[in-house]
Amino acid sequence: MGSKTHKLPLSSIENLPFTSKTNEEKPKISCVSQSRFDISKYCDLCEIYREELAPTSVSVATIQSTTQKVAIKKIYKNCLVNDFQKTQAVQECSLHHSLDHRNIVKAVEWGEDDDAYSLVLEYIDNPTYFKEKIEDNLNPVKNELKLKSYMHDVLQGLAYLHSKGIVHGDIKIENLLLNTNEDQEQPMPTVKLCDFGLSRKLDKDTGKFFMEFPVGSLSYMAPEIKAKAYVDEKIDIWALGVVLYKMAVAYKPTQITGYKYGSGPIPFRKVDWRKRSPELQYLIVQMLNTNPAERISAEEALLHPWFKEECLSQEIV
């Protein structure tokens, strides 16, 4: 996986086809369900992520029979301290493998051996783009056409998950990956969701799930997330609202001195938002509604005026 900056051919974009993106893709790697993991099918392994004491690693590899690149995520058993964590690891692999959408990183195989659970994923060529641009370099997505496309992709992925009664549970900048070479006919690269380690399924009767204790990434956690709480898919929308705000200005609302969620309206400093469309600000306000019952859904957000064609001329160069 690379970290290059991709130059986008924006000059040729007149009608960005948000609503025409489908779940059709180029021919996929055939998917294999759980089995004894056979690492010998892969060659040229190169570890690209492993932190000390972390239970996971990620390597880039090649399928020997097809020469196609993949990524292999390993969850090491000796780092899982109890049966609950082992169950969670199996659930992550199984759930991720069951998903099939163009805006979700495809899991093509999973299995286990004596040392680890292994999840084989499609290769993403620019996975750290958003982290490096926004988190590390504090550089917002200034072009609103790009921002619309990126956010539309994420919302389509979330709408798919939520339609299946699945909550991602850890939406944040680092879990949005950019794939620049997927479809040469599309003027924009594709954004895909990854990391389903905290994902949960909603109860079919109540439409919620029970959260024994707060989990997630702290600065993206919705206000309703607390110990022994029943929550739903709207926690993903809150987190994505924080992501969208940060993509636009490279900081979160709570980084403005004195502001806390619920203490007043979402702050939009004129110096940073004067060239942004009002529809963008309105969408963020709807996503960051502290009342989850009134918070906009992924399906509703996809129909928001910000994505409509008449707003596309509001481009920031």
Pairing of strands 32-36, 107-112: parallel
Residue reference for tokens 């994923």? 121
Determine whether 202 is exposed, middle or buried from the number of CB atoms within 10 Å of its CB (0-12, 13-18, 19+): middle
Active-site annotation holder among 153, 170, 195, 236: 170
Per-residue b or e along 219-244, where b marks 16 or more CB atoms closer than 10 Å to that residue's CB: ebbbebbeeeeebbbbbbbbbbbbbb
- Known catalytic residue: 170? yes
The phi, psi pair for 218, rounded to 5°, reads -50, -50
Distance, CA of 282 to CA of 280 (rounded, Å): 5
Cα-flanking dihedrals φ and ψ of residue 46, to 5°? Answer: -140, 110
CA distance 229 to 212: 7
Q: Which residues are catalytic?
A: 170
